[in-house]
A and B are shown apart, each in its own frame.
Chain A
Amino acid sequence: MKFALIKENQNRISVFVKVLSILWGILMTTPAFAHEPIFGIGPHTIFKGGIGIELEVDGSGGSSEDPVLNTEILYGITSELSVTLAVPAFFDSNIFDLRGVGDISLRSKYRFWRNDTAGTQDAAAVILGMKLPTGRTSGQKTSGTGSVDFLLGLTAARESRRWYLFGDVRYLLNGKGVDNLRRGNIFFADIAFGIRPMLGEYLDPDPVLTIELNWESRMRNSVEIPEFPGHEGRSLFLSPGFFLTYRNWALKGGIQFPLYQSVDKSLFKEKFRFLIAIETHI
């Protein structure tokens, strides 16, 4: 009887973890700002009083996950401080089969240092974020972890007319959620290069090509069921991407290809991850 109960719990948690854990890091930690790395994060903030709206589709190959539609709303409190509300929506098999709205996240970014020179901006920012347990955690269609998670990050960048260089470190501190499961914390480190092949004017379409190296280190899950496997692993991704902007509209996308993956048996090895997003600032 006890064994059956444990097995049932394992199955429930296993599906839950598979569906939410891999992409959750991306959803929780990547920002809504077009001229930033696709999978990493940069120090950009929106102008004071500005509103940014982003629709982003995230997915991965090789795991059982279905794509996630993430809606982000960004607001500039000052030119150096912005806040973002992120609302993910999960789908079962297609875009018309909504599984549920997931846990919403709130993030703030404070650009504490900026050095402007002709055609170049150097900047550094800190990021603080919190995920709230707003998604459904019971029934067949779960869409939340039931936990309050926190994000800490530090990023710096040099952006010039021709070249981009970004670097960041982030730490996702996961809280205890449904069934007393505390998913393993995640450490991210990213570096990104970008090049603008054509130097256009303000009202010209503006393409930028990027290449990123993304490191992830996932700690072991903490669960009360001893038989439930851990979830730790380390991955290094090579991630080509692009931005294409026109005035206040942006299209961006990228694919993460694993160069190295050391993950335990509970975490499916991924063939790739992708992200594509459209964004506007008003």
Chain B
Amino acid sequence: MIRVLLLIFSISVVSQSLSAEKVHKITITVKGLSCPFCAYGIEKKIKKIEGLKILGIKMRTGKVNVSISEGNPLDLNLLSKTVKDAGFTPSEFILTANGYIGMNKAGKPVFKVNGSSDSFILNSNDENRERILSIAGQNNVKVILKGVVKKPSKNITHIFVLEVKKALL
């Protein structure tokens, strides 16, 4: 009986840790965020978007942390509009997401977000560029990428890579 309970507990822990990895995280730097009462509009509006969850609003730094469960679109335009509708100005998005790196037709590295059709053109410094190109040459290597988006675009969004590493599968 005890073994059965331990087995159920183990399965539960493993499934929780797997599901915890199946989220992307976005930190939005928000300008004009001065009072907590006013910031409620951001919480209220982000909660309305399917798949999004507020992880925290940091008044001191003006940062809003949200998570997006895999399978939902990583729509930075929508997030930008949401912050604007709440009465503030989004200045940058720091994205941490799971996905794959490939090359587009123009020969530029592209990050394809796991579980959605979103993709971003990658810009980086020299150090990360080499790493990105080496990963892009391999087939189906899942990565965790952290990058900054200054201006989301409706068509092609560029992301400046801060960090990229192979995901542990």
Binding site for B on A (CB under 8 A): 34-35, 44-50, 78-80, 114, 116-121, 159-161, 199-204, 206, 208, 243, 245, 247-248, 250, 281-282
B2-10, B85-93, B113-121, B129-137 - the one binding chain A:
B85-93
In the complex, the chain B residue whose C-beta lies closest to that of A34 is B37
Please count how many residues in chain B sit with their CB below 8 Å of the partner chain's CB atoms: 27
* Chain A positions within 8 Å of B56 at CB level: 202
Q: Is B152 an interface residue (CB 8 A)?
A: no
* Chain B positions within 8 Å of A203 at CB level: 36
In chain B, positions 36-68 with a C-beta closer than 8 Å to chain A are: 36-45, 56-60, 62
Q: Are A281 and B85 in contact, with the CB atoms below 8 A?
A: no
B38 to chain A, nearest CB (A): 6
Q: Are A119 and B33 in contact, with the CB atoms below 8 A?
A: yes
Q: Are A245 and B36 in contact, with the CB atoms below 8 A?
A: yes
A–B pairs, 21, beta carbons within 8 Å = A35-B35, A44-B38, A46-B41, A47-B86, A48-B45, A48-B86, A78-B85, A79-B84, A116-B31, A119-B34, A119-B62, A161-B60, A201-B57, A206-B35, A206-B37, A247-B36, A248-B40, A248-B44, A281-B37, A281-B40, A281-B44
Give bound CA distance, A281 to B39, whole Å: 11
* Chain A positions within 8 Å of B32 at CB level: 114, 116-117, 120-121
Q: Are B86 and A245 in contact, with the CB atoms below 8 A?
A: no
In the complex, the chain A residue whose C-beta lies closest to that of B42 is A47
Choose from A78, A114, A120 the contact partner of B34 (Cβ within 8 Å). A120
* Chain A positions within 8 Å of B38 at CB level: 35, 44
* Chain A positions within 8 Å of B85 at CB level: 47-49, 78-79
Give bound CA distance, A78 to B84, whole Å: 10
A118-B31, A119-B33, A202-B36 are contacts. A50–B59 as well, Cβ < 8 Å? no
The A/B interface has a contact count, at CB < 8 Å, of 92
A48-B86, A201-B58 are contacts. A245–B35 as well, Cβ < 8 Å? yes
Nearest 8 CB-CB pairs, A to B?
A47-B41, A116-B32, A116-B31, A116-B89, A121-B32, A245-B37, A48-B85, A202-B57
B127 to chain A, nearest CB (A): 29
* Chain B positions within 8 Å of A159 at CB level: 34-35
Secondary structure of the B contact surface, majority rule: mixed
Give bound CA distance, A121 to B88, whole Å: 9
* Chain B positions within 8 Å of A204 at CB level: 36
* Chain A positions within 8 Å of B58 at CB level: 201-202
B47 to chain A, nearest CB (A): 12
**Beyond A114-B32, A116-B89, 11 extra complex contacts between A and B, CB < 8 Å:** A35-B35, A44-B38, A47-B85, A47-B87, A114-B87, A117-B31, A161-B34, A161-B60, A201-B60, A243-B37, A281-B37
In the complex, the chain A residue whose C-beta lies closest to that of B56 is A202
In the complex, the chain B residue whose C-beta lies closest to that of A78 is B85
Q: Are B59 and A202 in contact, with the CB atoms below 8 A?
A: yes
Give bound CA distance, A78 to B34, whole Å: 20
* Chain A positions within 8 Å of B36 at CB level: 200-204, 206, 245, 247
1/0 per residue, CB under 8 A from A, across B15-41: the answer is 000000000000000011111111111
Choose from B40, B59, B87, B89 the contact partner of A161 (Cβ within 8 Å). B59
Give bound CA distance, A40 to B78, whole Å: 36
Choose from A45, A116, A120, A250 the contact partner of B37 (Cβ within 8 Å). A250
Q: Are A118 and B62 in contact, with the CB atoms below 8 A?
A: yes
* Chain B positions within 8 Å of A281 at CB level: 37, 40-41, 44
A213 to chain B, nearest CB (A): 22
Give bound CA distance, A150 to B35, whole Å: 31
* Chain A positions within 8 Å of B40 at CB level: 47, 247-248, 281
* Chain A positions within 8 Å of B37 at CB level: 34-35, 206, 243, 245, 247-248, 250, 281
Give bound CA distance, A116 to B38, whole Å: 13
Give bound CA distance, A29 to B121, whole Å: 52
* Chain A positions within 8 Å of B34 at CB level: 119-121, 159-161
* Chain B positions within 8 Å of A248 at CB level: 37, 40, 44
B62 to chain A, nearest CB (A): 6
Give bound CA distance, A78 to B81, whole Å: 12
* Chain B positions within 8 Å of A44 at CB level: 38
